[in-house]
């Protein structure tokens, strides 16, 4: 992805951006030959930021990405690729110091978003600030020039470090501030409405309802924080022994009034450029990991055996579980599905990596079926024999409520302590924390390129529009 181009060839390409031969060659030479780690962090951050800013200024002088001619397109692509490579080398040389200083600026147990902003203050020009990203969000995805790539370089390096990777995982398993603020209310009422997610507590069961009816309960930056907070509220409630994931009824004419589990990532926001790269990382370490591993213990250090608070989770799949919805099923303890529902992972077709499905799906379905699902968009109708490794029970739509009650009785009857202990023991063998951390390092790197690739735009324009037509049919 980040192989350097021959300097003479690169200079010729940069002339497509209207640059003179001398300034293009000089920038490219300094960018490609700069070695980091031999001076002070502040000095090298300033030098790296200067080179990155020069490239950004040149990119700003070009037409929008989708309006560039071939020469301008090649020049823009080269500027993005070379600055990403520069950022990668700088981050690799200073990743430990960068993490320590960013964490110091961010405060105790910072979330990924806060760490990213702290890094932007520590190294302006190298890593984008929230303000810069907000400006970038005004552009369609097809017109973005890779500002978020540098966040990918940063987090890939941080996850590659065992100590700092585990610190991020630990911090993201703590309850959100919003959840802690709502604790008293839900203890009194047993309910919480977070706009894009709802929580109901009843008879020792905490039910989380995904509620994005206009977009078929899709996930995006607006729904992620409410959904994670809802998981926190269920985990924090002292009387809850088991959690349930379910979709609210949707308003789309084709499914009006029907419950749907989840249609995955919001492709509308993705295409419009308002969907952030950090969504992918915060979702895996926050929402999904809390479902899979629960809250970490207050004194848990990360490098020892797991301890913390967790509960078993049941998913009720009605209609479909597409993309991110299907990914959630891979961390559930029991999946109840209505007959006629289906599961799939169209991320490759869309042009992105399907979260941690590449890590978790093969151990459930086997490598061959997992490859078909991830690389070739294979669907899993819940009634089909090959879906038995993903779905525990299938029933008719009018039997869902009854079967859910029966399932809840079976789960709570064995006691919370044994359920939590067995979950931890299963994970110790199938997905130790170090395996998860290593996966996240690769995922952070690869997803950054996928999120901003021209192929993603092409795939969205082809497949998303086809899907929109089918929904209107």
pLDDT tens digits, one per residue of 410-462: 887 655 567 888 899 999 999 999 999 999 999 999 999 999 998 899 888 88
Give the residue-averaged pLDDT of 397-411.
94
Burial (CB count within 10 angstroms: exposed 0-12, middle 13-18, buried 19+), residue 472:
exposed
pLDDT at 470 over 80: no
Integer CA distances (angstroms), 373 to 67, 338, 354, in order? 35, 21, 10
Contact 58, 17 (CB under 8 A): yes
222-236 mean pLDDT: 99
pLDDT level of residue 302 (50, 70, 90 thresholds)? low
434's tokens: 């170090």
Helix pair angle (149-160, 162-172), 10° resolution: 110
Q: Name the one residue in this structure whose structure tokens are 């790539």.
A: 149
Distance CA 198, CA 191 (A): 8
pLDDT digits (tens, 9 = 90+) for 306-334: 888 999 999 999 999 999 999 999 999 99
Q: What is the pLDDT of residue 307?
A: 81
The Cα–Cα gap between 100 and 239 comes to 38
Looking only at the bridges linking them, the beta strands covering 334-338 and 313-317 are parallel
Instruction: Please give the DSSP secondary-structure letter assigned to residue 129.
Output: -
What local confidence, expressed as pLDDT, does residue 421 receive?
87
Please determine, looking at this structure, whether the domain spanning 7-160 carries the CATH number 1.20.58.1300.
Answer: yes
The neighbour count for residue 178, using CB atoms within 10 Å, is 14
For residue 155, give every residue at least 6 positions away whose Cβ sits within 8 Å of its Cβ, in sequence order, or none.
Answer: 112, 116, 281, 444
pLDDT attached to residue 403: 98
Any idea how long the chain is? 473
Up-side HSE of residue 272: CA atoms within 13 Å toward CB?
A: 10
Residues of the chain with CATH 1.20.58.1300: 7-160
Instruction: Count each helix (H run) and each strand (E run) in the chain, helices first.
Output: 22, 12
- The DSSP code sequence of 399-427 is GHHHHHHHHHHHHHTT-HHHHHHHHHHHH
CA 214 centroid distance within chain: 21
In the chain, what percentage of residues exceed pLDDT 70? Answer: 95
Q: Which of residues 299 and 164 earns the better pLDDT score?
A: 164
d(CA 251, CA 212): 9
pLDDT at residue 266 greater than cutoff 60: yes
* Residue range 177-183: mean pLDDT, rounded: 97
Alpha helices in 173-323 (DSSP H): 177-189, 221-236, 267-272, 278-282, 289-293
Question: Which pLDDT value is given to residue 415?
Answer: 57
Q: Are 90 and 48 in contact (CB under 8 A)?
A: yes
**Paired tokens of 283:** 């979702």
* Nearest C-alpha neighbor of 132 from the set 49, 34, 48: 49
At the top level of CATH, the class of 176-431 is alpha beta
Q: Is 469 exposed, middle or buried (0-12, 13-18, 19+ CB in 10 A)?
A: exposed
Every domain of the chain with CATH number 3.90.226.10 lies at 176-431
The one-character DSSP state at 143 is G
pLDDT digits 0-9 by tens, 44-75: 999 999 999 999 999 999 999 999 999 999 99
Per-residue pLDDT, 410: 86
Distant-in-sequence, close-in-space partners of 337: CB < 8 Å, separation ≥ 6:
316, 317, 318, 382, 391, 393, 394, 395
Model confidence pTM above 0.75: yes
CB 390 within 8 A of CB 343: yes
């Amino acid at each position: 992805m980040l192989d350097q181009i021959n300097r003479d060839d690169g200079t010729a390409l940069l002339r497509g951006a209207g640059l003179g031969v001398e300034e293009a060659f000089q920038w490219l030479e300094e960018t490609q030959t700069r070695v980091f780690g031999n001076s002070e962090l502040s000095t090298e951050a300033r030098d790296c930021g200067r080179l990155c800013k020069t490239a950004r200024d040149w990119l700003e002088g070009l037409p929008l990405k989708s309006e560039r001619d071939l020469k301008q397109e090649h020049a823009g692509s080269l500027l993005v690729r070379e600055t990403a490579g520069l950022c990668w080398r700088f981050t690799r040389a200073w990743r430990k110091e960068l993490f320590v200083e960013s964490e110091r600026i961010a405060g105790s147990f910072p979330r990924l978003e806060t760490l990213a902003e702290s890094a932007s203050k520590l190294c302006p020009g190298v890593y984008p600030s929230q303000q810069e990203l907000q400006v970038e969000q005004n552009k369609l995805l097809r017109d973005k020039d890779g500002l978020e790539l540098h966040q990918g370089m940063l987090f890939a390096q941080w996850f590659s470090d065992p100590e700092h990777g585990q610190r991020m995982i630990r911090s993201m398993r703590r309850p959100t501030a919003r959840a802690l603020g709502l604790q008293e209310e839900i203890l009194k009422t047993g309910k919480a409405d977070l706009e894009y997610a709802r929580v109901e507590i009843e008879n020792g069961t905490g039910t989380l309802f995904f509620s994005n009816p206009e977009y078929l309960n899709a996930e995006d930056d607006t729904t992620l924080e409410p959904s994670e907070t809802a998981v926190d509220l269920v985990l924090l409630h002292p009387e809850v022994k088991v959690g349930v994931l379910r979709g609210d009824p949707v308003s789309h004419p084709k499914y009006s009034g029907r419950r749907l589990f989840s249609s995955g990532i919001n492709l509308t926001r993705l295409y419009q450029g308002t969907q952030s790269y950090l969504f992918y990382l915060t979702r895996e370490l926050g929402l999904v990991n809390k479902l899979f591993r629960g809250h970490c213990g207050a004194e848990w250090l990360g490098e020892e055996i797991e301890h913390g608070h967790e509960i078993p989770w049941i998913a009720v799949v009605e209609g479909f579980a597409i993309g991110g919805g299907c990914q959630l099923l891979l961390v559930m303890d029991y999946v109840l599905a209505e007959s006629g529902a289906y599961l799939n992972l169209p991320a490759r077709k869309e042009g992105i990596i399907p979260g941690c499905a590449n890590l978790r799906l093969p151990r459930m379905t086997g490598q061959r079926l997992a490859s078909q699902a991830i690389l070739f968009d294979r669907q899993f109708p819940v009634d089909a024999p090959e879906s038995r490794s993903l779905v525990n029970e299938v029933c008719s739509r009018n039997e869902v409520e009854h079967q859910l009650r029966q399932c809840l009785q079976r789960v709570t009857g064995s006691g919370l302590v044994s359920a939590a202990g067995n979950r931890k023991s299963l994970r110790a063998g199938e997905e130790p924390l170090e395996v998860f951390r290593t996966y996240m390092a690769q995922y952070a790197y690869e997803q950054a390129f996928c999120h901003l690739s021209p192929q993603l735009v092409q795939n969205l324009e082809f497949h998303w529009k086809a899907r929109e037509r089918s929904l209107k049919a």
